[in-house]
Amino acid sequence: MLKPYILLFLFLFLFSELVVAQVKISSWNLQNFGKTKSESEINFVADVLNEFDVVALQEIVAGYGGVQAVAKLADALNRKGSKWGYVISEPTQSTPYATERYAYLWKTSKVKQKGKGWLEPHYRDEIDREPYMLDFIYNGQPFTLVNFHAIPKKKQPETEIKYFKFLPGKYPDKNLIFLGDFNVPQSHTVFNPLKKIGYLPLLENQKTTMKMECVGEECLASEYDNIFFNSKKINLLNFGVVLIYKSFPNMQAVRRISDHIPVWAEFEFSSKRR
């Protein structure tokens, strides 16, 4: 039988060989986030997002008003005790009425940006608002967010999403996390190829868009927002949604912020030291 101090030594050795990192990520469609958002509305968004380490935003207005609104949001977050970095994409290569920007914000003390973000080029002609990708490092562990806003349901977003199954092959060395507003539920068959290679949805049977009016206690409408992660590389520790409408007197008031609620996940990355 091994002596206790030898067992302790073996435990510490094995533990030291393993690097573990945990990060809390949120995704939120902010519905025409631009100059029409008031200071109080931006402050509310900052209050919601402050508990996360990195945030992916969709539907940032393509014009200068969108850039200004994200800068104001970063400033509001900076006043809450942590330093936040942020980047904003160039406008997507879309039809004029559909073009928009994406944004990322992150706590610089916890998450590091690696390189510059890019609008995914491989399927630019097939995807109206091409995803915005950015590499991050958390406690030495790299991951890449794929931020996406699909075309509306009536335009068949599955015709765009079907190309996502090719992205892990295009970026074989990256730990991809797909997140955003897909405008179809995770149960749609278009996600099956991703699921077959290990990318699991964060949420199942969870509605994330808000009704115009609540019907009794039911205020949510559709299962559109989600996060897909590689279950072979990432452990899911916790997840949820933020029911922002509970902070407002009625749905008209909350929908001035957005018609979507934020979704979030806490992930653990682990790998052997080299």
* pLDDT one-digit tens code per residue, 214-226: 999 999 999 999 9
CATH 1.25.40.10 fits 22-272, yes or no: no
- Could you give the strand order of the β-sheet that contains 132-138, starting from the edge strand earlier in sequence? 112-119, 132-138, 141-149, 176-181, 225-230, 199-201
- Residue 55, helix vs strand vs coil: strand
Q: What Rg value do the Cα atoms of the chain yield, rounded? A: 20
pLDDT for 3 equals 56
pLDDT for 96 equals 76
Nearest to 206 by CA among 265, 252, 148: 265
- The total of other beta-carbon atoms located within 10 Å of residue 30's CB is 25
| Torsional class of 249: left (φ above 0), alpha (ψ -120 to 50), beta (otherwise) | alpha
Nearest to 32 by CA among 64, 65, 60: 60
- Are 54 and 23 in contact by the 8 Å Cβ rule? The answer is yes
With both helix axes pointing from N to C terminus, report the angle between 64-78 and 39-49 in degrees, rounded to the nearest 10. Answer: 60
> What is the value of pTM for the model shown?
0.90
Give the residues across from 106 on adjacent strands.
Answer: 54, 85
Q: Which residue has the tokens 């509310």?
A: 44
- Taken as a whole, the chain contains a residue count of 274
**Which residues does the chain have with pLDDT short of 70?**
1-21, 270-274
Nearest to 263 by CA among 28, 22, 23: 28
Distance CA 241, CA 28 (A): 10
